[in-house]
């Protein structure tokens, strides 16, 4: 086949002047295993220096705050500035207790996985404030749509530890009947939406729930959580768009813990803009918060919740924090990041910071802290023992076989009925002694 | 009133003659009036009334809180519908064409279908996703697809395809009332009149078809129950949607004493009706417009083979679309029309 009758002139040599060849930018984290860490590139503004606009302000007025970092607790452990939520000591102690309980629970469950009592666990070490403080700032009736790292919400809302452990062990008392991977809790009684393994799907769902609430003239709002890595999912975009279009009473919590398994936040776009700044493009209010400052997190969540409740629409809060441990029990962070990152992290530890604040107020002491830590460890241990009576994974105490086929549909259709009978037949062959 | 209770001859039944679009519009109207939890959302469904007019007049009648337009985001539409269902509403999202349902697939497969199971029934997704599907309208690659097999493969979803105005109304009402997520595929080729596959003949309006007599008011056609369109002894023909009419016309023209079954619901399937028929006829022809490989016909064929093996007098035949994207100019070479069906019938009856 011949070419066109009048072929275009071939490009002249050196076309594009002195420009070199194009180059693809593939982000690279600052530090890899073995590197010394220097976090001076992270700008940490002084606590108390960030203005607090009125909750009813236009979204654009929050733009400066999207590139700032709202902080309340200063280096001396004092609560300062306009974002200080002025919580009473009893509330502060409760917040400290819930964060410490979350950490104690994580420690115990992590060990349980290592001991073979369950298949999987995910800690939230270093991020306790981003779940506990919002749970305290929201109303109990507000529906939360969490990701997998907000166990602090369930704990703060008073969900029984034994039930959490039963789920982790997939035992015969597991309320989810052993169907779900450990930590994928569901607790309608505590207005805690069923956790999905599929990332970011909860964002448009939270928006839809809040749309329903608003369309009914209800007063409840929705709050949802997502990691910074998952903001790359399409559902983040659709959720933000719908939230803006219908002025939906929802709070988006983006927990920027710097890491999505082995990928640093640069692979979610952090090199170009803060995650809070994404809100502005949608016409949504945005706040960027020191995620290891429980009082700043509380104040921001309260601001956003009040805004939503007064029909001023959605808010996106970026919680700037650090995932102190591995992604999960299946992950070894030593393979992709410097071990020094955790110790050098400039925003410190949320529990230590609130503890120091209470001590500075004269409302707490190291002795009280030590006693509380011991008490909480004991409480978790007792709950674990209690749950183990219902069985641990793989030791045979689980829900009856037929429950595997229930709840796929409201009623059992013929094909699932047949398959359930097959499972029972197989059980009789494999375990002739089995009694159910 | 269910179909079973309806008069045997709908010619004589009380009711008006409606097109499928009018019947769907009426079903939505009735459910919006009956149940304050029902809400309709989708692209262009509100003020404009839908690109196929399925939601015409509903926003005016029920207000913007009940019937509203959405951003162009299928993932968002399905995702917010899941959230609305979790709140306690009964959403009826529309996806403008089944070809565009894929951006919502994660929300349908990973979320809507599994919500009840993974939460041990704490949360449910009582939603009905309406979507026009099927070809025969020169829709080309992205306005003609029949993706039902992608949904019948998903545990937790029900899949429904009506073939008449009567069923469209009754099945849609049943789907909306159902507490499980339902994919409701509307064959757009037969929105305004039945189609017998003879694209070169004048189009007949629904008014000339007995199943366009649609009772007024509320009635539900139960999900999971097939309809025997025509009883016969020579061969069992399994079809749904547009292909019910195409297969029926071919059998009539060829004078084949076929038992024509309109499946109506693919999941859960009315296997009893299928099995009884094939045991009687000993032969089975499966017709669908979707591509062949791993299409729903493969599941039907496997089930018939498993259940009716000793009754079969000939290999089960599948007449389907070809395993290519839906072409534009060669639509009638692609469409599983009278020639392809006739050939398969000849093979079956020649055995």
| Domain range annotation of chain B | 20-190, 224-349
| Domain B20-190: CATH architecture, name and number where available | 3-Layer(aba) Sandwich (3.40)
* Chain B interface mutation, best of A204, A222, A239, A402, highest count of B Cβ atoms under 10 Å: A204
Distance from CA of B280 to the nearest CA of A (A): 22
Q: Which of B189, B136, B97 is nearest to B334 (CA)?
A: B136
Distance from CA of B265 to the nearest CA of A (A): 13
Q: Which residues of B touch A409 (CB under 8 A)?
A: 116, 156, 158, 180, 268
Q: What is the CATH number of domain B224-349?
A: 3.40.50.920
Of B85, B103, B117, the CB nearest to A408: B117
Q: Which residues of B touch A216 (CB under 8 A)?
A: 87
- Our answer to whether residue A103 is catalytic in this structure is no
Q: Is the pLDDT assigned to residue B12 strictly greater than 60? A: no
Q: Is the pLDDT assigned to residue B3 strictly greater than 80? A: no
* A110 near B CB under 8 A: no
Residue A289 has what pLDDT?
Answer: 98
Q: Which residues of A touch B179 (CB under 8 A)?
A: 410
Q: Is the pLDDT assigned to residue B312 strictly greater than 50? A: yes
* Chain A interface mutation, best of B79, B89, B152, highest count of A Cβ atoms under 10 Å: B79
Residue A13 has what pLDDT?
Answer: 58
φ, ψ at A249 (rounded to 5°) = -75, 80
Residue A264 tokens, joined? 């640093």
The string of pLDDT tens digits covering residues B234-293 is: 999 999 999 999 999 999 999 999 999 999 999 999 999 999 999 999 999 999 999 999
* A408 near B CB under 8 A: yes
φ, ψ at A360 (rounded to 5°) = -65, -30
Q: In degrees, to the nearest 5, what angle opens at C-alpha B331 toward C-alphas B325 and B334?
A: 65
Q: Which of A291, A218, A292, A279 is nearest to A251 (CA)?
A: A279
Of A145, A186, A201, the CB nearest to B107: A201
Q: Is the pLDDT assigned to residue B9 strictly greater than 90? A: no
Q: Which residues of B touch A215 (CB under 8 A)?
A: 39, 65, 89
Is residue B256 within 8 A of residue B234, CB to CB? The reply is yes
Annotated catalytic residue within B143, B166, B209, B245: B143
Give the model's confidence band at B14: pLDDT under 50 very low, under 70 low, under 90 confident, else very high.
Answer: low
For A:62-91, CB contacts with B below 8 A are none
The string of pLDDT tens digits covering residues B125-155 is: 999 999 999 999 999 999 999 999 999 999 9
What SS3 state is found at A78? coil
Put simply, the answer to whether A201 touches B89 (Cβ < 8 Å) is no
Of A198, A206, A409, the CB nearest to B106: A198
Distance from CA of B41 to the nearest CA of A (A): 11
- Our answer to whether residue A282 is catalytic in this structure is no
A108-145: b or e for each residue (b if 16 or more CB lie within 10 Å)? bbbebbeeebbeebbbbbbbbbbbbbbbbbbeeebbbb
* Mean pLDDT score, B297-326: 98
How many interface pairs between A and B have CB atoms less than 8 angstroms apart?
A: 143
* A177 near B CB under 8 A: yes
Q: Nearest residue of B to residue A236 by CA position?
A: B76
Put simply, the answer to whether A222 touches B83 (Cβ < 8 Å) is yes
Annotated catalytic residue within A78, A159, A309, A336: A336
DSSP-assigned beta bridge partners for residue B17: B213
Q: Which residues of A touch B78 (CB under 8 A)?
A: 204
Q: Which of B46, B54, B62, B60 is nearest to B18 (CA)?
A: B54
φ, ψ at A393 (rounded to 5°) = -60, 130
Query: What percent of chain B stands above pLDDT 70?
Result: 96
Q: Which residues of B touch A422 (CB under 8 A)?
A: none
Distance from CA of B304 to the nearest CA of A (A): 14
Of A175, A212, A241, the CB nearest to B84: A212
Q: What is the CATH number of domain A59-326+336-389?
A: 3.40.50.970
- Our answer to whether residue B288 is catalytic in this structure is no
Q: Which residues of B touch A413 (CB under 8 A)?
A: 224, 267-268
Distance from CA of A247 to the nearest CA of B (A): 13
Q: Residue B238: enclosing H or E segment and its boundaries?
A: strand B235-239
Q: Please provide the average confidence, as pLDDT, over all residues in chain B.
A: 95
Of A187, A212, A415, the CB nearest to B83: A212
List Cβ<8 Å contacts ≥24 apart for A272-278: A274/A66, A274/A67, A274/A318, A275/A228, A275/A231, A275/A316, A275/A318, A276/A65, A276/A66, A276/A67, A276/A316, A276/A317, A276/A318, A277/A63, A277/A66, A277/A67, A278/A231, A278/A240, A278/A316
* Chain B interface mutation, best of A407, A416, A418, highest count of B Cβ atoms under 10 Å: A407
Q: Is the pLDDT assigned to residue B7 strictly greater than 60? A: no
B306-337: b or e for each residue (b if 16 or more CB lie within 10 Å)? eebeeebeeebbbbbbbeeebbeeebeebbbb
Q: Which residues of B touch A407 (CB under 8 A)?
A: 116-117, 120-121
The string of pLDDT tens digits covering residues B26-49 is: 999 999 999 999 999 999 999 999
For A:238-257, CB contacts with B below 8 A are 238-239, 241-242, 245
Distance from CA of B184 to the nearest CA of A (A): 16
Distance from CA of B31 to the nearest CA of A (A): 18
The string of pLDDT tens digits covering residues B94-121 is: 999 999 999 999 999 999 999 999 999 9
Put simply, the answer to whether A205 touches B103 (Cβ < 8 Å) is no
Q: What is the pLDDT along chain A (436 residues), one digit of tens a residue?
A: 344 555 556 555 556 678 999 999 999 999 999 999 999 999 999 999 999 999 999 999 999 999 999 999 999 999 999 999 999 999 999 999 999 999 999 999 999 999 999 999 999 999 999 999 999 999 999 999 999 999 999 999 999 999 999 999 999 999 999 999 999 999 999 999 999 999 999 999 999 999 999 999 999 999 999 999 999 999 999 999 999 999 999 999 999 999 999 999 999 999 999 999 999 999 999 999 999 999 999 999 999 999 999 999 999 999 999 999 999 999 999 999 999 999 999 999 999 999 999 999 999 999 999 999 999 999 999 999 999 999 999 888 888 888 999 999 999 999 999 999 999 999 889 888 877 6
Residue A6 has what pLDDT?
Answer: 59
Q: Which of B285, B297, B262, B301 is nearest to B351 (CA)?
A: B285
The string of pLDDT tens digits covering residues B186-223 is: 999 999 999 999 999 998 999 999 999 999 999 999 99
* A204 near B CB under 8 A: yes
């Amino acid at each position: 086949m011949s070419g066109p009758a009048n072929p275009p002139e071939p490009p002249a040599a050196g076309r594009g002047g002195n420009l070199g060849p194009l180059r693809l930018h593939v982000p690279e984290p600052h530090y890899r295993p073995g590197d010394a860490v220097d976090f001076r590139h992270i700008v940490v503004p002084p606590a108390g220096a960030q203005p607090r606009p009125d909750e009813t302000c236009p979204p654009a007025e929050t733009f400066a705050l999207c590139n700032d970092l709202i902080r309340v607790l200063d280096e001396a452990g004092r609560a300062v500035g306009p974002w200080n939520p002025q919580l009473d000591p009893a509330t502060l102690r409760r917040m400290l207790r819930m964060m410490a309980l979350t950490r104690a629970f994580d420690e115990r469950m992590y060990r349980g996985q290592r001991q073979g009592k369950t298949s999987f666990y995910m800690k939230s070490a270093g991020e306790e404030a981003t779940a506990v403080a919002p749970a305290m700032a929201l109303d109990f009736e507000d529906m939360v749509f969490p990701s997998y790292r907000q166990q602090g919400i369930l704990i703060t809302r008073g969900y029984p530890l034994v039930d959490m452990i039963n789920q982790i062990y997939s035992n015969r008392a597991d309320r989810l009947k052993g169907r779900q991977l450990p930590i994928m809790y569901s607790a309608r009684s505590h207005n805690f939406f069923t956790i999905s393994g599929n990332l970011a799907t909860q964002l448009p769902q939270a928006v839809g729930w809040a749309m329903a609430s608003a369309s009914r003239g209800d007063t409840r709002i929705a709050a949802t959580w997502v990691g910074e890595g998952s903001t790359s999912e399409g559902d983040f975009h659709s959720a933000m768009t719908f939230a803006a279009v219908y002025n939906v009473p929802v709070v988006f919590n983006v927990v920027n813990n710097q890491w999505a398994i082995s990928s640093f936040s640069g692979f979610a776009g952090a090199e170009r803009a803060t995650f809070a700044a994404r809100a502005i493009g949608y016409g949504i209010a945005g706040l960027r918060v020191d995620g290891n400052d429980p009082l700043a997190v509380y104040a921001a969540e309260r601001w956003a919740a009040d805004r939503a409740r007064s029909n001023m629409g959605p808010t996106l809060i970026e919680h700037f924090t650090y995932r102190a441990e591995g992604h999960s029990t299946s992950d070894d962070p030593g393979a992709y990041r410097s071990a020094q990152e955790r110790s050098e992290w400039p925003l410190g530890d949320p529990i230590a910071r609130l503890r120091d604040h209470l001590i500075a107020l004269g409302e707490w002491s190291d002795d009280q802290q030590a006693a509380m830590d011991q008490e909480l460890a004991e409480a978790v241990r007792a709950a674990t023992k209690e749950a183990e009576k219902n069985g641990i994974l793989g030791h045979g105490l689980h829900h009856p076989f037929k429950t595997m086929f229930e709840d796929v549909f409201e009623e059992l259709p013929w094909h699932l009925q047949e398959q359930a009978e097959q499972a029972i037949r197989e059980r009789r062959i494999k375990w002739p002694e089995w009694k159910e | 009133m269910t179909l079973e209770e309806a008069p045997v001859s709908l010619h004589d039944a009380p009711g008006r003659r409606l097109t499928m679009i009018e019947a769907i519009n009426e079903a939505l109207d009735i459910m919006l009036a009956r149940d304050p939890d029902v809400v309709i959302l989708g692209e262009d469904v509100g003020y404009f009334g839908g690109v196929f007019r399925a939601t015409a007049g509903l926003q005016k009648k029920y207000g913007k809180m009940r019937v509203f337009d959405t951003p162009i985001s299928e993932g968002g539409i399905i995702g917010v519908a899941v959230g609305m269902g979790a709140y306690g509403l009964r959403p009826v999202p529309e996806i403008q064409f089944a070809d565009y349902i894929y951006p919502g697939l994660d929300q349908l497969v990973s979320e809507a279908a599994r919500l009840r199971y993974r939460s041990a029934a704490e949360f449910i997704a009582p939603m009905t996703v309406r979507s026009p599907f099927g070809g025969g309208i020169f829709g080309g690659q992205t306005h003609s697809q029949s993706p039902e097999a992608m949904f019948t493969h998903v545990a937790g979803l029900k899949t429904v395809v009506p073939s008449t105005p009567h069923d469209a109304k009754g099945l849609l009402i049943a789907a909306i009332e159902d507490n499980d997520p339902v994919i409701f595929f509307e064959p757009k080729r037969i929105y305004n009149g039945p189609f017998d596959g003879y694209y070169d003949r004048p189009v007949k309006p629904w008014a000339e078809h007995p199943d366009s007599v649609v009772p007024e008011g509320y009635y539900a056609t139960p999900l999971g129950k097939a309809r025997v369109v025509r009883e016969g002894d020579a061969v069992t023909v399994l079809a749904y949607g547009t292909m019910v009419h195409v297969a029926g016309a071919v059998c009539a023209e060829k004078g084949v004493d076929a038992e024509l079954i309109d499946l109506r619901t693919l999941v859960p399937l009315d296997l009893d009706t299928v099995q009884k028929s094939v045991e009687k006829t000993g032969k089975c022809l499966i017709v669908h417009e979707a591509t062949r490989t791993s299409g729903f016909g493969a599941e039907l064929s496997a089930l018939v083979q498993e259940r009716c093996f000793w009754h079969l007098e000939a290999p089960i035949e599948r007449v389907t679309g070809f395993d290519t994207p839906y072409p534009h100019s060669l639509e009638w070479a692609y469409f599983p029309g009278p020639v392809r069906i006739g050939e398969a019938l000849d093979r079956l009856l020649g055995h």
